[in-house]
Structure 1
Amino acid sequence: MEKICILNFNNTYENQDFYENENYIIVDFSDLKSVSRYCDEKSLDVIRKRLEKYVDIKIKFIDSGNYHYISYLILEKITKPFTLVLFDHHTDMQPSYFEELMSCGCWVKKTLDDNKYIEKVIIIGANENLINSIEEKYREKIICFSEDFIRGNYNWENFSRKYINSPIYISIDKDVINYKEAKTDWDQGSLTLEELKNIYINICKNHEIIGIDICGDSSYSGEIYEVNNNNEINNKSNKKILEIIEEEESFYELNTI
Structure 2
Amino acid sequence: MRAFNGDIIRCDSWIYRAGFLKNLKEIFYINSSNIGKIFEVKLPIYLSIDKDIIDKKHLNTRWTQGSISPQQLFNFLFNLLSNNKIIAADICGEPELDIGELRKSEKINLKIVEILQSLKMKKSA
TM-score by length of 1: 0.43
Question: Do structure 1's residue 148 and structure 2's residue 24 form an aligned pair?
Answer: no
Shift of 1:149: 3.7
Query: Which of the pair is proportionally richer in helix?
Result: 1
- Whether 1:108 aligns to 2:15 is yes
Q: Could you give the per-residue CA deviations for residues 89-109 of structure 1, whole angstroms, max 9, x where no partner exists? A: xxxxxxxxxxx5433332111
Q: Is the CA contact (8 Å cut-off) linking 1:178 and 1:188 kept in structure 2?
A: yes
Q: Which has the larger radius of gyration?
A: 1
- Tell me, yes or no, if the aligned pair for 2:81 and 2:119 is still in contact at 8 Å: yes
- Give, as a single letter, the amino acid of the residue that structure 1 aligns with 2:43: S
In structure 1, what is the Cα distance between the partners aligned to 2:11 and 2:93? 11
Q: Larger relative contact order (C-alpha < 8 A, sep ≥ 6)? A: 2
Aligned pairs for 1:75-224 (under 5 A) are: 100-113=7-20, 115-125=21-31, 147-150=32-35, 154=37, 156=38, 159-160=39-40, 164-218=41-95, 220-221=96-97
Contact 1:170 1:213 in 2 (8 A): yes
Tell me, what secondary structure is at the counterpart of 2:19? helix
Instruction: Give the secondary structure class of the aligned counterpart of 1:170.
Output: strand
Query: Superposition RMSD on alpha carbons, in Å?
Result: 2.3
Secondary structure at 1:121 match in 2: coil
- 2:5 and 2:24 map into 1 onto residues whose CA distance is 25
CA distance in 2, matches of 1:192, 1:230: 15
1:101 to 1:242, Cα distance in 2 relative to 1, 3 A = closer
In 2 relative to 1, CA 246–101 (structure 1 residues): closer, same or farther, beyond 3 Å?
A: closer
SS in 2 for 1:119: coil
Structure 2 CA distance for partners of 1:40 and 1:148, relative to 1, 3 Å: closer
Q: 1:31 — aligned with what?
A: none
Partner of 2:113: 242
Identity rate, percent: 30
Cα distance in 1 for partners of 2:114, 2:57 equals 19
Instruction: Give TM-score scaled by structure 2 length.
Output: 0.81
Segments of 5+ residues of structure 2 without an aligned counterpart are none
**Counterpart contact for 2:81–2:116, Cα < 8 Å:** no
CA contact (8 A) 1:112 1:118 kept: yes
